[in-house]
Amino acid sequence: MLSTLIGSLDRALSLDARERPGFSPAPAPLQNTMPMPETREEAQLDVPPLVWRREDISGARLTPAGVLVEPGLRVSSLPYVSANGDAHARTRRLSSARLRTLHETHRERGLPAALRRGFDARMRVTRLEGDTVLLGAHYTDCENYFHFWTDAMCDLWFLKQCGLDWSSVRHVLMPWSGVGWQREIAALCGIAPERIVALSSADGFVLERGHVPLRIKGGTRNHNWIVQAMREIGGWRPPETAPPGRRIYVTRRGAVRRPFANEEEVLKVLAPFGFEVVDCAGLSVAGQRQLFATAEIVVAPHGAGLTNIAWARAGAKLIEFMPRAHANPCFLDLASQAGVAYGVVPSTVEKEGVDPIHAGFAVDPAHVAVLVRDMLER
């Protein structure tokens, strides 16, 4: 009963972060998003249409994009149960200096968390002096390569485009577990280790002055500048020499989410085309960038490794195996922005009774062979 009352009070008193005095809209070119993809049909193969999952922005607080600069900003860091056992995964909630919930996007409850972290002596609350930037989405899958690049690192690019004085920033508060690829990406993006504060290092934070990028994140909706941001913030330009020619299959062996059930059957139909099997988890970030930059065609099940299509050169090709119940267009968007031709093979089988983000799936190997041949002959 008390929880319900607090929740109702929270909703009544909550504030839209975009209506705060410290909010400034971003320049017009940074407001644009990718268009809704059309229903995908492969009539010649008698495949049922694939319906893309694209978040409707009309009913959510997702626009306009901009930056909130607010003194005394409070950030609650809530434990999040991750399917891959990531102990650093957190969801976050923002509150004003007076503990009123600030909505970044959807109406998320923040008051109970803010009250507990403000008045419960057992909670670890850290005060960060000076200017702090808060990177990443309000839900934090800490060890996801796609979200680290497109949500956290692109946030930094976005802030700089909006006029952030990077030299004045003392702390970078963000999803962080310190794994090798995160350290490598942070270094590429110019974030010194001593500036990094892991969102999981405390139950709450009080920021002397917080800088929060408010924009569309998460993957089902993407800005049309994500690839540009990744390349510029990471100091990348596809090489002009050594024309791409590698045919790459990116495996998801050992993945906890969406295990790919019939990989061996698919590999048999790919073998005559000369594909090499690659596990991105075994490569450095630099190695992944170089690999995709030299690819003629990439074939892979939907997964974070396809974030690397951002490094491909225009004219390369991508074929993605897509679970129908989790038809996320994030890599379609990246491919489009990079000038990469895109094809999709929808699932024929998915494990029932499981959250689509985790459910295993399989595709028709014959469909794979037809699409690979067609794309290579174009």
Q: What is the mean pLDDT of residues 2-18?
A: 72
Please give the domain boundaries of the chain with CATH numbers for all domains. Answer: 2-233 (no CATH), 246-377 (3.40.50)
- Both structure tokens of 347: 């699932």
> Is the pTM higher than 0.85?
yes
Phi, psi angle pair for 154, to nearest 5°: -70, -25
pLDDT, mean over the chain: 88
Please report, for residues 8, 9, 138, 178, 192, the alpha-carbon distance to residue 110 in angstroms, rounded to integers and kept in the order given.
Answer: 11, 11, 11, 27, 31
pLDDT confidence bin for 245, thresholds 50/70/90:
confident
Q: Are 207 and 132 in contact (CB under 8 A)?
A: yes
pLDDT score for 36: 84
What pLDDT band is residue 78 in, cutting at 50, 70 and 90?
Answer: confident
Is the predicted pLDDT of residue 353 greater than 60, yes or no? yes
